[in-house]
Amino acid sequence: MARIENATLVRRFRQLEEEVESLTQKLTELVQTSVEYEWLKTVPGLGDATIVDLLSEIGSFSHYQDPRQLLKLAGLTLRENSSGEHKGQKQISKRGRRRLRALLFRVVMPLIRHNEAFRQLNDYYTNRTKNPLKKKQSIVVLCGKLLKVLHAISTKHLAFDAQRMIEDIPKLEKAA
């Protein structure tokens, strides 16, 4: 009886895997027909699967007037834990979509390795003389930066421009 049950479970598992693969393929085809896909594809380091996951979590970037709405949706806004005279540290609120935060974290890690602009920003944030950030703090800041850049690319219909992104930080602009 146990062998029959195991065989049934394995068959069901393979069937579910095929369904997931089919749905993923349909989602990819659907996303590729959207206007935002063409603009998001210009960011080096973003693949089809990432864009599908991102648009599945967020929806269309045109639904948001300001990129800060996306930061709040992801739970990347800062909050301070204080009471009375006690002034606590600032941390991200984590009051947003957990899967979106995890996706952004998984996307930013390879972007730091393969995208020169994000690598320069990460180096700047972690090695600056005044108020350097720890690695995870820098990654969280870059997650927010990525959301802002993707919002601008999608809503203004511009291709990704690394030089334009670096211009936000005057010290990096001088070095480049």
Question: pTM, whole model, 2 decimals?
Answer: 0.81
Whether 3 shows a pLDDT value over 80: the answer reads yes
Amino acid of residue 55: L
Cα dist from 136 to 10, 25, 83, 159, whole Å: 40, 33, 26, 28
Nearest in space to 105 (alpha carbons), one of 57, 39, 160, 164:
57
pLDDT band of residue 158 (cuts 50, 70, 90) is confident
pLDDT digits (tens, 9 = 90+) for 87-104: 777 778 888 899 999 999
Whether 21 shows a pLDDT value over 70: the answer reads yes
Q: Where are the domains of the chain?
A: 34-175
Q: What is the DSSP string of 69-124?
A: HHHHHHT--EEE--BTTB---EEE---S-HHHHHHHHHHHHHHHHH-HHHHHHHHH
φ, ψ of residue 78 to 5 degrees: the values are -85, 145
